[in-house]
Amino acid sequence: MDPLGKPPPSSEITPEPLYLRRRELLRDALLFTATSAGVGGSLLWLTQGRRASERQIQSTAANTTTASPTLTIAERGLYRVDEPLTPEGAVTSYNNFYELGTDKSDPAANAQTLRPRPWTVSIEGEVSQPLVVDVDQLLQWFPLEERVYRMRCVEAWSMVIPWVGFPLGALIKRVEPTSRAKHVAFTTLLDPEQMPEQRGDVLDWPYVEGLRLDEAMHPLAILAVGLYGKALPNQNGAPLRLVVPWKYGFKGIKSIVKIRLTEEPPTTTWNLAAPREYGFYANVNPAVDHPRWSQATERRIGELRRRPTLPFNGYAEQVAGLYSGMDLQRYF
């Protein structure tokens, strides 16, 4: 059954192994485009780079289509990477958000289709106090913090981003997990009108990601509602997205509508698409290569030379204890 009334998906008319192989080839092509596009992009951003203090007072980048009200930030500087910020224009124009397109520039170009208000989030599953809450109400509950984190994409590029958000753990505590809760599943909005690429089948929609409960409760894991002091642009996952800085960027699911506590680990979108390439843990690990490229170094957007990738993306001191005793080659 197809709720969109479009022709049957190719899975119905092509033998499955062939269909799966086609998807694999398409994904390879996408990643190749992404990687090669990025090389040119970094030169452009280098010429556009400005000092952080100048950027703070610049209005939102040209490609940002959301109205971006300034957020009230209660706390700054507690969590800060002492490295130059990636220019705002790069953070908001070089994106992965497949629901809005598969090229890096598509999400900004197509961002206007997403309507981040009104927006409700459901927190449910293994909790004593499930709730459905309007995102503006959420912003009243938790004081907002600025957190300057590194972000390392599995495609081997990275950025340093000043996020605005609040600890995910604070929200989870509020709904009172039951003793059976061991994992957390996050789901992106499913609405092909707002997310046109959901009409196609490049991924299984809606996008789903997951964490272990103790990972979700770690103080570094946040729900971001802004960046560079302003509300999140649509292309960065408005109105609410996950940021887990010690994991590859694909864990940072965007435009979340559901947070579900579960006993079993959820099936995640990228793990389903390519289980040998994208594990559930997805901790940044320079010692474990992606099957098709090395993870030992990365290209920081705006820099010419590659830099070494750090274990847990530089957050080992804070998070390595979560994985003590685990074989991180095996549980990638």
C-alpha 310 chain-centroid distance: 19
Tell me how far, at minimum, the Cβ of 99 lies from ligand MTE, in Å.
6
Alpha-carbon gap, residue 129 to 127, rounded angstroms: 6
Burial of 325 (0-12, 13-18, 19+ CB in 10 A): exposed
What the block records as the tokens of 147 is 């957190």
Site for ligand MTE contains 166 (CB under 6 A): no
Site for ligand MTE contains 207 (CB under 6 A): yes
Q: Which of residues 128-157 bind ligand MTE (CB under 6 A)?
A: 153
Question: 């509950």: which residue's tokens?
Answer: 141
Site for ligand MTE contains 99 (CB under 6 A): yes
Site for ligand MTE contains 49 (CB under 6 A): no
Q: Which stretch binds ligand MTE (CB under 6 A): 6-14, 33-41, 172-180, 247-255?
A: 247-255
Site for ligand MTE contains 169 (CB under 6 A): no
| Side chain identity, residue 235 | Q
Output the residue with the shortest Cβ distance to ligand MTE.
249
Tell me how far, at minimum, the Cβ of 183 lies from ligand MTE, in Å.
18
DSSP codes, 226-251: EETTEEPPGGGTTT-EEE-TTB-GGG
Site for ligand MTE contains 250 (CB under 6 A): yes
What the block records as the tokens of 276 is 């040998």
Pick the closer one to ligand MTE by CB: 147 or 254.
254
Site for ligand MTE contains 254 (CB under 6 A): yes
Pick the closer one to ligand MTE by CB: 100 or 213.
100
Tell me how far, at minimum, the Cβ of 254 lies from ligand MTE, in Å.
4
Pairing mode, strands 256-262 and 120-125: parallel
Pick the closer one to ligand MTE by CB: 41 or 177.
41
Residues touching ligand MTE, count (CB under 6 A): 16
Pick the closer one to ligand MTE by CB: 126 or 312.
312
Site for ligand MTE contains 98 (CB under 6 A): yes
Site for ligand MTE contains 210 (CB under 6 A): no
* Backbone phi, psi, residue 117, to 5°: -140, 145
Site for ligand MTE contains 236 (CB under 6 A): yes
Which H/E stretch holds residue 124?
strand 120-125
Pick the closer one to ligand MTE by CB: 123 or 203.
203
What is residue 310's three-state secondary structure? coil
What the block records as the tokens of 255 is 């435009």
Q: How many residues are listed for the chain in this entry?
A: 332
Site for ligand MTE contains 96 (CB under 6 A): yes
Contact 282, 251 (CB under 8 A): yes
Q: Which stretch binds ligand MTE (CB under 6 A): 20-28, 89-97, 137-145, 297-305?
A: 89-97
CB atoms within 10 A of CB 212: 16
Alpha-carbon gap, residue 116 to 231, rounded angstroms: 10
User: CB-hemisphere CA count at 13 Å for 129?
Assistant: 7
One of 253, 259, 261, 301 touching ligand MTE (CB under 6 A) = 253
Site for ligand MTE contains 97 (CB under 6 A): yes
Site for ligand MTE contains 226 (CB under 6 A): no
Site for ligand MTE contains 93 (CB under 6 A): no
Alpha-carbon gap, residue 20 to 16, rounded angstroms: 6
Binding positions for ligand MTE, rule: CB under 6 A: 95-99, 153, 188, 207, 236-237, 249-250, 252-255
